[in-house]
Amino acid sequence: MNPDHTQYTHLFGPVPSRRLGRSLGVDIVPFKVCSLNCIYCQLGPTTTLTTQRRPYVAAADVIDELRRWLDGGGSADYITLSGSGEPTLNSELDQIIEFVQQHTEIPMALLTNGTLLGDPQVRAQVSGLDLLIPSLDAATDAAFARVNRPAEGLDVEGLIEGIAAAREQCAGQTWLEVMLVQGINDSDEELSAIRRAVERIQPHRVQINTVVRPPAEPDARALSPAELAHARDLLGPLTEIVAPLPEDYSGDLYHQQTSEAVHDLLRRRPCTINDIALGLSIHPNEATKYVQALLAEDRVEPLQKAGSVYYKAV
Ligand code: SF4
């Protein structure tokens, strides 16, 4: 069952996800509060670059929506904390996790940039999750600065240390995601440094991704299939490539209809991701997924206008 989008502010989907099946997104920070400002960010530039934890979104409001969704018969393969920024910045994260664990058997995942996992309090809050998906795009400070453009006070050693500690403490699995950008963090030296970090962290899986979504910076470019295969070999036996296959929307009427609605909108006028989200009352992350699938099918194309990325139907 899909939520009525007009009823929910913090829930989106369930959206089809290659890794997680049907994933209900739970967005617990406002657009776009994050401790990083990654050059490949699908949501555009970070507007509040911070490591300050706060109840940016009140846990009670999120819990109220989750309760309604569950009472309405909501089902998904995962309930995933993610969204419009870095979810661990929400200091009331533990209340939301606790509610879900007490009220449903649906497993819970966290997509995180990993920068706050060095904080023992954050680790304690997330240690009961079924699946942690932290990102590690760099293992030297120079590449970290280039690709992730972190908030003041963050460094790559603290990031790796925090992810390793969380891996050890977390009851569930840890899948490390590595987002590679051509010419920015894909040199053999950088990949070797990331491999050493992988050996230290000991994740259950390493998943390489590249820029297939609309990036924050127009010159954030994807690796070719051959470059991705080379990176996979350098990163070691646990590594798999999860990009650049498009999401599969076939076989689900809701997703087919929404995908067509996005395409119709883009036939009428070029839109940014936010325009699409507002126009169709869907979450920006969900809008991004449809645009990504339409891009892969060559049914839409990006265009640069006034410093923003717009999309139009081909
Ligand atoms: S990709 Fe994730 S971590 Fe990076 S800026 Fe965007 S929301 Fe933040």
Q: Find, among 98, 168, 162, the residue nearest to 136 by Cα.
A: 162
pLDDT tier for residue 308 given thresholds of 50, 70 and 90? confident
Q: If you take atom 1 of ligand 1, which residue's CA is the nearest one?
A: 41
pTM for this structure?
0.82
308 and 189, same structural domain? no
Give the model confidence (pLDDT) of 83-114 as tens digits. Answer: 789 999 999 999 999 999 999 999 999 999 99
Of 219, 245, 271, the one marking the end of a domain is 245
| Domain co-membership, 239 together with 251 | no
Residue 43 CA: nearest ligand 1 atom is 6
- Band of pLDDT at residue 2, cut at 50, 70 and 90: very low
**Does one domain contain both 161 and 259?**
no
Q: What confidence tier does 245 reach under pLDDT thresholds 50, 70, 90?
A: very low
Radius of gyration of the chain (CA): 19
- Ligand 1 atom with the smallest distance to the CA of 115 is 3
Total domains present in the chain: 2
Task: Look at residues 245, 267, 293 and tell me which one is the last residue of a structural domain.
Answer: 245
Give me the domain span that covers residue 94.
Answer: 5-245
CA of 33 to the centre of ligand 1 (A): 9
| Alpha-carbon distances of 140 from 144, 147, 311, rounded to whole Å | 6, 11, 35
Q: Is any atom of ligand 1 closer than 6 Å to the C-beta of 37?
A: yes
Pocket test for ligand 1, best of 33, 39, 43 (most atoms within 8 A of CB): 43
Domain boundary among 245, 280, 301: 245
Cβ of 88 closer than 6 Å to ligand 1, yes or no, is: no
Q: Which one has a higher pLDDT value, 217 or 34? A: 34
**214 band by pLDDT with thresholds 50, 70 and 90:** low
| Rounded-to-integer distance, Cα 268 and Cα 266, Å | 5
Are residue 89 and residue 193 in the same domain, yes or no? yes
